[in-house]
Structure 1
Amino acid sequence: MTVAPSVVAALPQYQLGEQIGHGGMGVVYAAVHRPLGRPVAIKRLPGLLAEDRKMSDRFEHEARLLARLDHPHIVPVYDYVQNHGEHLLVMEKLDGGTVWSKFSEEGVTAGQACAIGLATLSGLHAAHVAGVLHLDVKPKNLLFTSSGVLKVADFGISQVISEGATLMTHAGQVLGTPAYIAPEQALGNPLTPAADVYATGTVLYELLSGSLPYESGGGALAMIQRHVYQEPRPLGPAVPRPLAEVVMRSLAREPQARYRNAETFAVDLAGAAAQVFGPDWLTRLGVRVHLSPAVATGSTRPSQHPTQPRETLALNRVRGTMVDAPPVTQIGSQTLIPASSVLAAGPPARKTGRWFALAGALVALVMLALPFTVTGRDLPVLTQDLSQPVVLQGKAPTTLTITVAGVTLATVTGDPAAGLELPGVTRWIVGGAAVATVKGEDAQQEYLLKPLASPMLSIMGVGSAVVLLFTLAYLESILRSLRRRQAGTGAVIIAAPLGFALGVAVWLLPTVLLRNEPALLPTLTCALLGAVAAVCVAVATRRAAA
């Protein structure tokens, strides 16, 4: 890509070369300082700086701070140029590639990941002491020298451009890197070193596991929403427990729950690495990391495990495959808005999901109350031992029909005085109560037939309990799959018949135990309420996990 004439005019002492990088925070060119013959990298900052005088003044102040940073793990800034409408940072040119290039091409071991984390935290702590936050820590901003020393680049640029907040376009593109952003930064809250602790923890999580703490699909804004509203996924069993505990603490959503600064994070990380790899792991790994005295002490804690030989530290490389959301590369002509204005209302899917959850809860309450409020018709009670023939008044042939919820279980005809014997299956089906219709030559009478045996010794009693437990267990399995995003629309559809069966059981079991009439209309009403409640809860669960 051709270098803009304004950049060439602003840097008469430099021989400009090809573009070697670009992103939301600017474009980087290779160059050579003519008088000294020194290779440098020149970052051309976004045109938004030139358009806003206050922002330009703020960055000039920040550039002075950056120029004072002198640390083995920070890319040094040699010069800051404001000329011909350009804002240009002249920095050391590093030829060893980035952590991302190494991670995606060769892969890194757990020991190398810990060394990268310690070097990053060492540089960050020095910057924090000097009053500079990074706010865009990611593998592509961690560079290696040709001899393999890691250095952190791009300090303070995000802080100046966005004043610490996360900005986005109306189209939903985010300025910066949403995969590593701290929740408080996304929400535009006051920032502390804990924001850089969070981003470094995310980088370390990725280097150790090969994936990010959150799913990366759905676009930049969706990625940010997960950081704000969801808990990170625990590191898998392949990551040693001491390391996993340290990393997960750095990813706490509340800043107060994280490490208070980069150095305390580094102390625990060094100690965990020493427990896993042995106290001399950095020496055996052959990686040059500048450690403060506190961190160095932690890195040599007595190991709880046998010291591993150097060759084992090079095993089990993890490779990066994450495709990040595309950054906003041109911001001068675009209107930027704070992402917090969108995030404050909560994710749209989750917001509507709450209404579904509320509707499901209300419908479920009505369903649960129905069996205790609807008692059926006021009929004469006929108490009977169903193992014996049912004896009735009268001499003429009589027909006895037994029904439950509108379903006819048996119809027998005979001499009422001698007794009408019910089929064996009917005796076991009828639990708390059933409707007995007695029809003679001239009259018909309905009774509420109540067996003498316990209601739970019947198919109605045991069956309704079994159906209740089965449907509850199946529904919980479906909801668990939806929460883990392992199921989709099909699971919501399956929830409807399961809810219908649950409603029938919820109606029948209390009715049987209370020995009330299991009428058809309340049964269907309760079943429909169960179906609606199950679908609402399934939809709410799916949207909450979206």
Structure 2
Amino acid sequence: MSAPADLVAALPQYDIGAEIGEGGMGVVFAGTHRTLGRSVAIKQLPWDILNHAASSELFDREARVLASLDHPHIVPVYDYVRTGREHLLVMERLDGGTVHSRFHGGGVSGEQACAIGLAMLAGLHAAHRAGVLHLDVKPRNLLFTTQGVMKVADFGIARVISEGATLVTHGGEILGTPAYIAPEQAMGNALSPAADVYAAGTVLYELLSRQLPFDNTRGAISMMRQHMFTDPRPIAGVPIPIAAVIMRSLARELDARYREAESFAADLASAATAVYGPGWLERAGVPVLHLTPRVIAGLNSPTAPAPPSDARTRPVQRPSAPDPTLSATRVPRQPEPEPRPASTLWFRLAAAAAAVVLVVLALLNPERLPHQASPTLKLGDAPVSAPVEVDLSKPLTVTGPGNPGRVALDLSAAGIPLGSAETTSKAAGNGFTAQLELPGLARWIVGGAVSATIQTGTVTQTFTLLTSQHPLASAMGAGSLILALFALAYLESVLRTIRNGHRGRGSLFAGPVLGILFGAALWLCVSVLRVHEPSPGFGAGCAVAGAVAAGFVVVAARRRRASTVASR
């Protein structure tokens, strides 16, 4: 396929050749700079995703950062052109193939896979320090020069495109590539370098074991669900020291995974030296041109790092055929899990006690509130001296002695107005009669038992009114249930964010607020379903108990997270 006319016109300084690649991140064309004679790859980004101001401006900023990345294991960006609807990246052209093509061609040895891993992690580490996440690390994005140097391509593009369409299909691929996507990326949570660590670990898992950590035969959605909710299968046929490092990089929980690429690379270098012996990197034949002092120290220190005690992965099984290179390597015994700090336990117990108080208060809400009896007023045929059941979809008839003129009916729950109706009474024998019709919205809101007040001239009478419709057919019933579930789900989201390492101070405010919402909603829902008249005192108590419970849960989660970080 030849380049479109718009692309040719946008880059007059280049001779543009045929298409050399296509994927979810755009179409790639070969090109040559007319003056310098330099071979380049020109990536035409998907205009339908970037064709609005927010995404375009975001990518303009991202392109400037990409152009500033200068590392031997990152594909350099030479130019960025934006004209009309076109967004074009001009990059170094690498003609040595990809890790994907080499792996599916002649294959790679264990030493070569580890060398590729070090080069990949070196590039990722440099990008992370510059504030750029890749978010689509996979074998097709790892390219070789003709001299065999491996470089990482497409930095930052997935993040920018996902701003406009998270995990949507474009060009036949799902952004993020489900086979390599991190759990937090699949769930739409906040992202960090640990997401690229997970993808890099998946690449190494595949190179070393010749299979993926999860079943890839059931489609993209199934693959993403496996990453989110299940542990990867133990890596088979790989020496134990290297297997332990790979499995730690694939831990679902951030607390158990390498949080940045340099730590992963240092442990990988150390484990590979323990397995393959000194000088393995030179023997691999894959040039690694830049290593940090920490990774060099690992390369010269043949140890076998053990996965953390709280890693959410099954233990790696010893290969059936013993590896002779492991005879001098002693794998440290995995330490026993440390007990949780006592302070965290007390916070959890306090939260549980507050939750019990919340439930008890909701159940103890009295069936009826005390009201002064009136033997003279009737609603329908029933005196209002006792609870009266009515159908709010029909007009309500109030009768009594005298002829007061104005008659009004007000409904409320725990002092909150729910609806009212007013009319002029008519004489009927020795008394009066009045037809009252509540507005449609009030009939939809009210459910269970509520307080009703009738005003007739100078007489005011409050009593208990029961609705004939099912409690869940009202906003008080179904609405309070939905509100309670929403508050609970949002609180769980706050806790998951804390567990993932984002300890924002807002959680200390959001937790109690959500607890108040949950406590009040639960109290109202229980009262409506049991047809009990809501008591404001018990509602306030439930709200306070909910705030205390949620506050203690948030504090416990933050302290546990802090203690986990401190122990690493």
Counterpart CA distance in 1 for 2:20 and 2:293 is 36
Q: Is the 8 A contact 1:173 1:220 kept in 2?
A: no
Equivalent residues in 2 for 1:22-33, closer than 5 Å = 22-33=22-33
Q: Which whole-Å deviations, capped at 9, do the CAs of 1:356-377 have from their partners, x for residues lacking one?
A: xxxxxxxxxxxxxxxxxxxxxx
Counterpart CA distance in 1 for 2:196 and 2:267 is 16
Match of 2:181 in 1: 181
What secondary structure does 2:134 align onto? coil
Q: Which whole-Å deviations, capped at 9, do the CAs of 1:428-457 have from their partners, x for residues lacking one?
A: xxxxxxxxxxxxxxxxxxxxxxxxxxxxxx
Q: Is the 8 A contact 1:41 1:93 kept in 2?
A: yes
Q: Is the 8 A contact 2:49 2:165 kept in 1?
A: no
Counterpart CA distance in 1 for 2:164 and 2:189 is 8
Deviation at 1:301, TM superposition (A): 1.4
Equivalent residues in 2 for 1:397-408, closer than 5 Å = none
Counterpart CA distance in 1 for 2:168 and 2:141 is 20
Match of 1:245 in 2: 244
Specify whether residues 62 and 3 from structure 1 end up closer, same or farther in structure 2 by C-alpha distance, changes over 3 A only.
same
What is the TM-score normalised by the length of structure 2? 0.52
Counterpart CA distance in 1 for 2:206 and 2:98 is 15
Specify whether residues 164 and 246 from structure 1 end up closer, same or farther in structure 2 by C-alpha distance, changes over 3 A only.
farther
Q: Does 1:68 align with 2:71?
A: no
Deviation at 1:297, TM superposition (A): 1.1
Counterpart CA distance in 1 for 2:147 and 2:171 is 42
Deviation at 1:110, TM superposition (A): 0.7
Counterpart CA distance in 1 for 2:110 and 2:81 is 41
What secondary structure does 2:168 align onto? strand
Q: For the pair shown, which has the larger CA radius of gyration, 1 or 2?
A: 1
Unaligned runs of 5+ in 2: 305-322, 327-568
Paired residue type of 1:158: A
Specify whether residues 281 and 45 from structure 1 end up closer, same or farther in structure 2 by C-alpha distance, changes over 3 A only.
same
Deviation at 1:302, TM superposition (A): 4.0
What secondary structure does 1:72 align onto? coil
What secondary structure does 2:2 align onto? coil
* Alignment size in residue pairs: 307
Counterpart CA distance in 2 for 1:224 and 1:303 is 34
What secondary structure does 1:135 align onto? coil
Specify whether residues 3 and 213 from structure 1 end up closer, same or farther in structure 2 by C-alpha distance, changes over 3 A only.
same
Match of 2:106 in 1: 106
Deviation at 1:165, TM superposition (A): 7.8
Counterpart CA distance in 1 for 2:226 and 2:99 is 24
What secondary structure does 1:163 align onto? helix
Counterpart CA distance in 2 for 1:158 and 1:170 is 11
Deviation at 1:138, TM superposition (A): 0.1
Equivalent residues in 2 for 1:198-237, closer than 5 Å = 198-236=198-236
Equivalent residues in 2 for 1:28-427, closer than 5 Å = 28-163=28-163, 166-169=166-169, 174-236=174-236, 238-289=237-288, 290-302=290-302
Deviation at 1:174, TM superposition (A): 2.5
Specify whether residues 171 and 27 from structure 1 end up closer, same or farther in structure 2 by C-alpha distance, changes over 3 A only.
closer
Q: Which whole-Å deviations, capped at 9, do the CAs of 1:178-218 have from their partners, x for residues lacking one?
A: 10000100111000000000000000000000000000012
Counterpart CA distance in 2 for 1:198 and 1:165 is 22
Q: Is the 8 A contact 1:195 1:255 kept in 2?
A: no
Deviation at 1:307, TM superposition (A): 7.1
Counterpart CA distance in 1 for 2:302 and 2:188 is 42
Aligned-residue Cα RMSD (Å) equals 2.1
Counterpart CA distance in 2 for 1:64 and 1:168 is 25
Specify whether residues 49 and 31 from structure 1 end up closer, same or farther in structure 2 by C-alpha distance, changes over 3 A only.
same
Counterpart CA distance in 1 for 2:123 and 2:81 is 24
What is the TM-score normalised by the length of structure 1? 0.54
Counterpart CA distance in 2 for 1:162 and 1:98 is 24
Counterpart CA distance in 1 for 2:255 and 2:36 is 48
Deviation at 1:2, TM superposition (A): 2.3
Q: Is the 8 A contact 2:178 2:224 kept in 1?
A: yes
Counterpart CA distance in 2 for 1:59 and 1:114 is 33
Equivalent residues in 2 for 1:461-476, closer than 5 Å = none
Paired residue type of 2:206: E
Match of 1:4 in 2: 4
Q: Is the 8 A contact 1:135 1:164 kept in 2?
A: no
Deviation at 1:48, TM superposition (A): 2.4
Specify whether residues 11 and 59 from structure 1 end up closer, same or farther in structure 2 by C-alpha distance, changes over 3 A only.
same
Counterpart CA distance in 2 for 1:80 and 1:39 is 16
Counterpart CA distance in 2 for 1:208 and 1:191 is 27
What secondary structure does 2:28 align onto? strand
Identity of aligned residues (%): 64
Deviation at 1:176, TM superposition (A): 3.5
Counterpart CA distance in 1 for 2:201 and 2:210 is 13
What secondary structure does 2:79 align onto? strand
